[in-house]
Structure 1
Amino acid sequence: MERNEAVTVSEVLDRIPVGRFHHRLLAICGGAWAFDGMEVIIISFTLPVLIGAWGLSGLTAGLLGAASLMGMIVGNWWWGWYADRHGRKGAFQWTVLIYSVFTGLTALSVGFYSGFGLRFLTGVGLGGALAVDTSYLSEHLPTDRRGRYLVYLDAFWPIGNVLAVALAWVFLAQLPTNGMVALPVLGAVEGWRLLFVSASMPALLVFVIRSQLHETPYFLAQSGDLEAANDRLRTIAETNGESYEPIEGPVTTRPAAGIRRLFEADLRRRTVMIAVAWFAINFGYYGVFIWLPQTVGASGVVGSIYGYFILIGVVQIPGYFSAAYLVERVGRKPTLGAYLVLSGVFTFVFAASMPGVDFLGLGLSGFWPFFGGLLAASFFTLGAWGAIYAYTPELFPTNARATGNGFAGGVGKIAAVIGPILAGALVPQGYLVALLPLAAAFVVGGVVVLAFGRETMGEPLT
């Protein structure tokens, strides 16, 4: 624990008002986050093309769609562990590089097996980046702004989703003729291959991370490098035009913790609680959104799905900002719990409004129940994502923070794999049957948070 008789890292950060340093850091971390969102959702648009090109069955299509999510399980756990032992910055830049490179290489896939392998390796980088990015940003923020800024970080996700929609529209709908794009020298190339090449652009962000970011003061102090921690805090203060009070020894250091630490008496309950919440939000979100292009198409109530997805992405942004406001006003626990429950309620509303569904004679079918239910579900689900990313880092001490983030995220990605596969398997029984388990998962997760969570609003990081 980075604490001494004079002043702690948390106390120094709390005395530095949010300013230019934090805004620039949020932009860099948010850029990585947006690209994560782009990489995850892009398979939703390429999957229908690949089903036809490679003759995929329902099972192999589901596995290909879930491949990056499977890789994210490994990435969450491995890179969270790595970041607690070797530092946040190094893990951050490596994870961004990994998911960028393997996204680009996916363009060279020739069938299910190569496509699955490359998407899996992409997921290893994606999962690691999600675990490390939140830990890195949280360890530079004052206590009274930490929750809000972590929700702001997650608000970059729909920007990535919108970017994925735009790229898919260009390379899958606009440029191709019979699925092919004519290029100088290379000749005719499938549009989906160019889409994956264009999605490798986040590799450029690695240069920004290497040149602009440094190790976090919490990690440096925990590692016993008091001088480097003070240098980092001084940089933050000077960049914001503020005065600086250094940490003074002695500082008690702790070795990096492993998974076992998360289940010791003081952390066990919160670990299980937040793991259930992560399972629920991933199960529901990916179960709905991986298949959403097909669901929207099957509804028959909209025209172009590209414009519709832009609208879905846009409505997510106020969902984030409402969560950012509430986590600092009413707390992390009630915000996350309520948003999960409401995500489940509105997922049910749009599921019950699908064509041919007349649930208990409620008369929900039609454009407006479908449209309103889906937009409301999107609003609350993405707000819940913002709240859970604000909440999770605060539940664990510095020497186990990235490990805790990674463990919870990895449990969530197990659910992210199961959700789309289960939904796909149940679709022949009807969309209401397919979507009901997803709605129920949201509600159960929210109830668990409200019943067993602990409030962390206003608490310093330890």
Structure 2
Amino acid sequence: MSSGQSVSAALDRLPVGGFHRRLLAICGTAWAFDGMEVIVISFTLPVLLDAWSLSGFTAGVLGSASLLGMILGNWGWGYVADRYGRKPAFQWTVLTYAAFAGLTALAVGFYSGFALRFLTGVGLGGALAVDTSYLSEHLPTSRRGRYLVYLDAFWPLGYGFAVALAWLFLAFLPGSAGTVVVPVFGAVEGWRLLFVASALPGLLVFIIRTQLAETPYYLARAGDVDAANDRLREIAAENGDEPSLIDPDAVESIDAPGFRRLFEADIRTRTVMIATAWFCINFGYYGVFIWLPQTVSAAGLVGNVYYYFLLIAVVQFPGYFSAAYLVERVGRRLTLGVYLLASGVFTFVFAAAMPDVGFGLGITGFWPFFVGLLAASFFTLGAWGAIYAYTPELFPTEARATGNGFAGGVGKIAAVIGPILAGALVTDGYLLALAPLAAAFAVGGLVVLGFGEETKGVSLR
């Protein structure tokens, strides 16, 4: 057994094995459900536009309700995770978003729908901040970036699951009146059943409670080095390795300092840089994807839109895997910056290919639209993988979840604005609505390339 080691050194001496793959599967499943919950509203918006007589603006506000809740969830739950532990925060965030997602089935109009989606977002925002912090604090330096991108690669699984559920409850099962006959309850609107099905992630809480334990980083920072070493023994035993333990003298116990730590001199530039990147990627992504079903339908260039949504989800996987390779090969900063720039370029391409754009751009027809859309999906989701790998490495342990949550919360402010702005501008043309989203991606890429610091191969502190 080794002595005189920090938490990072002890974890670095443990090879990646069965424990890490099991942990990735559990955290990834939670991540996939996060993706499903976030995107499911985009499939119900066209239905609710008519059912609740919504305007384009109010529909955009409803579509952004969970994103608005995610601001509070990112900031609040990140702090809770730093103060009280990653595991309890993880399980409560999952339970919160699953419960309120299911209860959205009871909404009777805009206001109740907005409230329930907002509360769903409070749990979602917390889960996204805590999940990455939890996984990152179990990984060796050499594989941390790749595994965090792999984590985000579960997102399109959730997207695909949302597409399948939307097709089942909004297209396949409903009759001409849009209802499904359910024993005992009678005719039920398909969108309500879709939200009932979205409560499924609540079952994951039992797995988190029984299969996961607190991270060694958090335990050591809280002053319980014995518990941190017990955790390292458990990891080593599951992998079939000898444990590498922490020296109490190599660990400093620090209370959770809160948000002020993010703006101290040593990490202030990092905080502003990554928060800006989060703002830009959220503004572009949610502005595009919340309205994507409506955009694809309006283009009139495809047949069965659900088929194309599945293709969009499928192409996201090579986007993630390429980013997973590149973050360890060329670094986090360059990968994220270039992928954001490419996202902006291809978002503009498919926007310019929309019918009746008419700016003499020469980008028209099915193939420019289709290839631009797929390429934008490829690079945008690759950028998401890179930013989730990059962000937790920028902050010290005592502020890691708070930093994750702060950056994510700033991003969700943009995620609220993006769909609302797109919804307000779309009546004047799709290029006008989508061009600001493309520009945001590009600005985010330039900020990362200009001000980001490389963290590849750097141990967590």
Structural RMSD (CA) = 0.9
CA contact (8 A) 1:267 1:396 kept: yes
The aligned residue for residue 159 of structure 2 is 161
CA distance in structure 2 between the partners assigned to 1:148 and 1:171 by the alignment: 36
1:162-184 per-position Cα deviation (integer Å, ceiling 9, x unaligned): 00000000000010111110111
Calculate the TM-score normalised by the size of structure 1.
Answer: 0.98
Code of the residue aligned with 1:176 in structure 2: it is P
Compute the displacement of 1:58 (Å). 2.0
Is the CA contact (8 Å cut-off) linking 1:347 and 1:439 kept in structure 2? yes
- For the Cα contact (< 8 Å) 2:340–2:441, is it kept in 1? yes
Instruction: Look up the match of 2:274.
Output: 274
Task: Verify: 1:429 aligned to 2:416, yes or no.
Answer: no
| SS of match in other structure, 1:181 | strand
Structure 2 counterpart of 1:40: 38
Higher deviation after alignment, 90-99 or 237-246: 237-246
* Aligned mates of 1:220, 1:37 — CA distance in 2: 29
Paired residue for 2:345? 345
* Structure 1 residues 5 and 18, CA gap change in structure 2 (3 angstroms): closer
Shift, 1:244, TM fit:
1.2
> Residues 329-365 of structure 1: CA distance to partner in whole angstroms, max 9, x if unpaired?
0000000000000000000110111111233x33111
Number of the residue aligned with 2:416: 417
In the aligned structure 2, how far is the partner of 1:222 from the partner of 1:307?
49
The one-letter amino acid paired with 1:111 is G
Deviations 1:430-452 (A, max 9, x none): 11111110000000000000000
- SS at 2:248's partner residue? coil
Encode CA deviations 1:272-324: one digit per residue, 9 max, x unaligned.
00000000000000000000111101111001110010000000000000000
- Cα distance in 2 for partners of 1:46, 1:355 equals 24
Which residue does the alignment assign to 2:445? 446
| 2-structure distance, mates of 1:372, 1:274 | 29
What residue in structure 1 maps to residue 322 of structure 2? 322
* Equivalences for residues 134-283 of structure 1 within 5 A: 134-177=132-175, 178-250=177-249, 251-283=251-283
In 2, distance between residues paired with 1:209 and 1:185?
34
2:133–2:392: 8 Å Cα contact kept in structure 1? yes
Name the residue aligned to 2:66: 68
Summarize the alignment of residues 112-127 of structure 1 with structure 2, pairs less than 5 Å apart: 112-127=110-125
Q: How does 1:251-400 map to 2 (within 5 A)?
A: 251-359=251-359, 361-400=360-399
Q: Which amino acid in the other structure matches residue 436 of structure 2?
A: P
CA, structure 1 residues 255+5, in 2 after alignment: closer, same or farther (shift >3 Å)? farther
- Judge conservation of contact 2:178–2:189 (CA < 8 Å) in 1: yes
In the alignment, the residues of structure 1 paired with residue 126 and residue 49 of structure 2 have an alpha-carbon distance, to the nearest angstrom, of 29
CA distance in 2, matches of 1:190, 1:344: 38
Give the counterpart letter for 1:216 in structure 2: T
SS in 2 for 1:215: coil
C-alpha distance in structure 2 between counterparts of 1:70 and 1:438, whole Å = 18
Distance (Å, rounded) in 2 between the aligned partners of 1:343 and 1:57: 29
State the match for 1:404 in structure 2. Answer: 403
Name the aligned partner's letter for residue 285 of structure 2. Answer: Y
Deviation at 1:5, TM superposition (A): 7.7
Matched AA of 1:315: V
The 2-side partners of 1:265 and 1:101 are apart by 41
Q: What is the alpha-carbon distance in structure 1 between the residues aligned to residue 188 and residue 79 of structure 2?
A: 41
Residues 1:23 and 2:21 aligned together = yes
Q: Which moved more, 1:53-62 or 1:322-331?
A: 53-62
Deviation at 1:245, TM superposition (A): 2.3
Partner amino acid for 1:225? D
Give the aligned partner of residue 85 of structure 2.
Answer: 87
Asked if 1 retains the 8 angstrom alpha-carbon contact of 2:287 and 2:437, the reply is: yes
Instruction: Select between 400-409 and 253-262 the one with higher mean Cα deviation.
Output: 253-262
Deviation at 1:249, TM superposition (A): 2.0
Q: Please, which runs of 5 or more residues in structure 2 have no aligned partner?
A: none
Confirm or deny: 8 A CA contact 1:358 1:365 kept in the other structure. Answer: no
SS of the residue corresponding to residue 176 of structure 1 reads: coil
Is the deviation greater in 58-67 or in 329-338? 58-67
Note if contact 1:358-1:364 (Cα within 8 Å) is conserved in structure 2.
no
SS at match of 1:141: coil
- Structure 2 CA distance, aligned partners of 1:409 and 1:245? 33
CA distance, structure 1, for counterparts of residue 91 and residue 105 of structure 2: 23
Residue identity matched to 1:282: N
- The alignment partner of 1:326 has SS state of helix
Query: Is residue 2:55 matched to residue 1:57?
Result: yes
Large movers: runs of 4+ above 6 Å: none
Please, which moves more after superposition, 38-47 or 58-67? 58-67
Q: Percent identity?
A: 76
Matched positions, count: 458
Could you say if the C-alpha distance between residues 58 and 357 of structure 1 is closer, same or farther in structure 2, counting changes exceeding 3 Å? closer
* 8 Å contact from structure 1 (residues 331, 456) kept in 2: yes
After TM superposition, the structure 1 stretch with the greater mean CA deviation from structure 2, 49-58 or 194-203, is 49-58
Please give the alpha-carbon distance, in whole angstroms, between the structure 1 residues aligned to 2:14 and 2:352: 50
Structure 1 CA distance for aligned equivalents of residues 381 and 75 of structure 2: 23
